[in-house]
A and B are shown apart, each in its own frame.
Chain A
Amino acid sequence: MARRRRTSSVTEERYKSRSVAEMIAKHGEFAGFQNPTRALYQTIRELVENSLDATDTKKILPWIHISIKEESRNSVNGARPWYIVTVEDNGVGIPVTVMAQAFGKVLFSSKYVIKQTRGMFGLGVKAVTIYAQQTTGSPIEVYSSTAESQYVYMMKIKIDMKNNMPKVLEKGDWAKKAAWRGTRVRVKIEGDWKKAKSKIIEYVKRTAIIAPYAEIIFETPDGTIYYYPRTTRKMPEPPKEAKPHPHGVNVEDLREIIASSKARTLKELLVSEFQSVGEKTALEFLSKFGFDPDMNPKELLKREKEGELVKLVEALSQFKFRAPKSDYLSPLGRDIIIEGLTRMFSPEWVDAVTRPPKSYKGHPFIVEVGMAYGGAIKPVDEPVLLRYANKIPLLYEEREDVSYKVLKSINWKNYNVEFPAPLIVLIHIASTKVPYKGLGKESISETPELESEIRNAVQEVARRLKSYLIKKEREEEAMRKAEALAKYIPEIAWSLAVLSKPPDSWTPPTPEEVNMFKEKLIDIVAEKVRVVGPGGEEVDMKKLVKRVVDSVELE
């Protein structure tokens, strides 16, 4: 069969480079700005999370004021309303030298270090700036001052999209009269409060749940003010900064590390630039994979050594190093979870666990689970899940989330929980690298290590819930029993008093005689029905039985 050549008309491709700012502007959905509802929600999130990063991770008890106001304007019929969003904090502030870039240059961040913070991409607030620019044409307005600074600085910033560079439209500074420190960010955007309302209110509430050490004030466009006072001064330990773990670097990371390192030998490089690697381990590793410990690492950056570099990365990921350290993680801790759940839900039982650190692909993580049961919680058909990652509440895409999937697979009957039940489950994942499904940070992917650790944590707390429920059930049963017996005591006491007197000298029983039998019977019941309360405390049954007996009236 003859071959036929395929003919095609080739049109000329036109190539163009685009800045990262333009890319975000074009694809708002990557950053969570796909529609006016999500945009308003995302704006609040980005600003509040930056404020919290500027406070609790810096050992400052947070004070955060959030306000959303509708802008009154003579709009074209049917045009969407504009909102002025203001978030103010008492955080560390932004040095004036970086202020413009922090708010006006995409991928500029102070959080590109290995350390657990809410922010990680260097994108969040710039997405807000871009969105404001696109929808209302207005700049983002920042007031800030650091503790050391004598001045309060102000800038109105837009982004030069083409060059991904900040454009400062206006700036000012004022000498500080009082020792003010913090940041106030104001931005005007298009939004849809009506639709976003419930999620935003829920977001602020969930933020408050795990930050009982924060004072949060939230003013809505409806004029409602949500006030979450500080209920504890205890804060989670701020995270420390960490060096990368050998399992967590790729070729590019390693190239960067070598380039900036002062190490003169390969051995020195491993020991000084990585965590979990000592002299002995370094030597053992290098000899195992046939690298020269005394080689100058800069050699590896040469083009002809490209193969060596790749080989080194592969070797690093295979070798069994000590597990990554976790002191640059900042879990909430059991006390704060318990405090937060208690103050928000007034449950009858609450407990939490902070699991020991584990790692996946060289990134350490800690899973924390809290559960609240009963009390003021309304019974519903499945557990209410409160998801958090690095202290950020996750509200959207619940069903996509690994935590939801784990929870769904738990057989609650094994833990004596029968739905509908009043159960809230809080799951927090802390990691230097949370495997989010998207830049909007709304759900976490099913990483096996994470999944099994979440399951362990949920089961651990659920077991404690179970033993509480068993004790409670036992206690209630004992109470019911005590009650069921106590109510008959007056009749029986009277009968015994009547029957206790011989026929020849019989007189009607006196109240004292009846009481004597009552007391005896109360003792007998209290002795038999012993109750240990859910907290392990012995319940004074005599008092309880007596209370029922004394309440009896015969009609």
Chain B
Amino acid sequence: MSGEHEHFIDKVDLEARRRAAKVIYEKFAPVIKDVLAGRPPKLVIPKRTLANTVFDPERGILVLGEEMLEREFLDLGESRRFMQTLLMAAIIYQSLIENEYPTIRDLYYKGKHTIVYRDLRGRRQEENTWDEQKESDAVIQDVEVFTGLFREDMLILSKEKGKVVGNMRIRSGNDVIDLSKLGHGAYAIESTADLIEFIDVDAEFVLVVEKDAVFQQLHRAGFWRKYRAILVTGSGQPDRATRRFVRRLHDEYNLPVYVITDSDPYGWYIYFVYKVGSINLSYESERLATPKARFLGVQMSDVFGYGSKKPYLSDSERKKFIIKATDRDVKRAKELLKNYPWIYKNPLWKREIEIFLKKKAKLEIEAIASKGIKFFAFKYIPEKIETGDWIQ
């Protein structure tokens, strides 16, 4: 590890690089040994297919199954991917050693070459190492599962989406940051959430809201101060860092996590990403998912009432705020009910979705908020937490 600017870089980063580089070096050593011995090289990688994604009911998360994939160079169906995996690994390895902070887009450009060659008939042929970023992103995932390292562990950065405020202090790099002293702003959760050190946390629970606008409203209304909450938003679909951050708060401080999203299949999906993990990136769940996260709202029963439960909205409000569900929403809801055991085995979820399918109506969080932020922050949320009106 060298570099004249190294002394500006904080130790945490350098340590992380050293660890990751060592893992990569050791993981690829057998492949190199094979080649040097004249043996056809191969990579044994856990399969990232849907068929090899299983729900671990004990831990409540999606994980990769036992199935392994042998990616052999000499197998024509795999040789291109073999080349790509090695190329990506080499670029990442070199970046780690040379103190680079590539994003996944940078990696895409760094490795995108056109292989120009003459075939055996002497014709000129061309092939790109990869064509779209989608292709190189998938290769990064292969490197992740092959090495057991997450991209963040390999100092690959991505756009920061998550924000957090609350009574807590953290160390990021060489600096200590007090997350309760950020004014109207918030701390943007860094890509490498594992490199954040929690110094002290003084809170009762974590409240995750789907939308940034709602986050700002609650922040300014002083919600987190009043209820001693850590307030987090993933600004829509949460990135990995936000999910890891929430999970760490839950694990390390035993804080209950409540999630508020829109009341529609897309909102539910976001909640499940926090809770279970996303189905096509199940290998991350082990570290990113928070299985005990609670869906606080907005529930269908908050809108329409259920049994003895009274709705939070009056008839006229309801008329004003609810939106008609689209065919796609309905289809998606039916799929959820059919395909995912953690949904159809949960009677509360079944109830939620059945109301939705019956009413064919959805509702955005803003609707509840527009009834008045005071209602939302100081009645709706605390009441539901207090009465345990959530789904887990």
Contact = CB atoms under 8 A, between A and B. Distances in A.
Contacts of A506: 97
Interface stretch (A14-22, A201-209, A463-471, A486-494): A486-494
Interface residues of B, number: 41
A492 B86 contact: yes
18 contacts: A483-B120, A484-B76, A488-B79, A491-B87, A492-B83, A494-B87, A495-B86, A495-B87, A496-B31, A496-B32, A499-B86, A500-B28, A500-B32, A503-B18, A524-B39, A524-B73, A548-B118, A554-B115
Given A499-B89, A524-B74, A488 B22 contact: no
A555 interface: yes
B250 interface: no
A494 B116 CA distance: 16
A552 interface: yes
Interface in B104-153: 113-120, 125, 127, 129
Nearest to B32: A500
Contacts of A485: 73-74, 76, 79
B116 A553 contact: yes
Interface in B252-304: none
Contacts of B36: 520
Interface in A345-391: none
A551 B115 CA distance: 10
Interface string B15-29: 000100110110010
Contacts of B96: 503
B215 interface: no
Interface of B: 1, 18, 21-22, 24-25, 28, 31-32, 35-36, 38-41, 73-74, 76, 79-80, 82-83, 86-87, 89-90, 93-94, 96-97, 113-120, 125, 127, 129
A487 B117 contact: yes
A528 B74 contact: yes
A502 to B, nearest CB: 6
A499 B120 contact: no
Nearest to B118: A551
Closest 4 CB pairs of A and B: A495-B90, A503-B21, A495-B86, A551-B118
Given A499-B28, A503-B22, 7 more contacts: A487-B115, A488-B83, A491-B83, A496-B32, A520-B38, A524-B73, A548-B119
A25 interface: no
Contacts of A499: 24-25, 28, 31-32, 86, 89-90, 93
Given A488-B80, A499-B28, A554-B113, A483 B119 contact: yes
A482 interface: yes
A61 to B, nearest CB: 41
A173 interface: no
A381 to B, nearest CB: 26
A520 B129 CA distance: 21
> B41, B89, B90, B94 — which one has the most chain A CB atoms within 10 A of its CB?
B90
A50 to B, nearest CB: 49
A192 B172 CA distance: 101
Instruction: Point out which of A484, A486, A490, A498 has the most chain B C-beta atoms below 10 A from its C-beta.
Output: A498
A492 B73 contact: yes
Contacts of B18: 503
Give the most central of A486, A492, A555: most B CB within 10 Å: A492
A479 interface: yes
B38 A523 contact: yes
Contacts, number: 113
Contacts of B116: 552-555
Contacts of A486: 117
B26 to A, nearest CB: 9
A539 to B, nearest CB: 10
A482 B21 contact: no
Nearest to A517: B35
B115 A524 contact: no
Interface of A: 479, 481-488, 490-492, 494-496, 498-500, 502-504, 506, 508, 517, 520-521, 523-525, 527-528, 544, 547-548, 551-555
A56 B41 CA distance: 65
Contacts of B21: 503
Contacts of B35: 496, 517, 520-521, 524
B120 A482 contact: yes
Contacts of A483: 119-120
A492 B71 CA distance: 14
Contacts of A523: 38
A500 B36 CA distance: 10
B120 A553 contact: no
Contacts of B94: 498, 508
B93 A498 contact: yes
A528 B87 CA distance: 23
A516 B308 CA distance: 77
A496 B73 contact: no
Contacts of A487: 115, 117, 125, 127
Contacts of A492: 73, 82-83, 86-87
A552 B125 CA distance: 9
A211 B341 CA distance: 82
Nearest to B114: A555
B32 to A, nearest CB: 5
Nearest to A484: B76
Contact of B38 (A508, A524, A547): A524
Contacts of A551: 117-118
A555 B86 contact: no
Nearest to B24: A499
Nearest to B2: A506
B111 to A, nearest CB: 9
Contacts of A496: 28, 31-32, 35, 86, 90
Nearest to B19: A503
A485 B73 CA distance: 8
A267 B18 CA distance: 110
A524 B127 CA distance: 22
A70 B243 CA distance: 97
B120 A479 contact: yes
Contacts of A521: 35, 73
A554 B96 CA distance: 23
B61 to A, nearest CB: 32
A319 to B, nearest CB: 63
Contacts of B119: 483, 548
A521 B32 CA distance: 11
Q: Find the residue from A485, A504, A527 having the highest chain B CB count within 10 A.
A: A485
A498 B39 contact: no
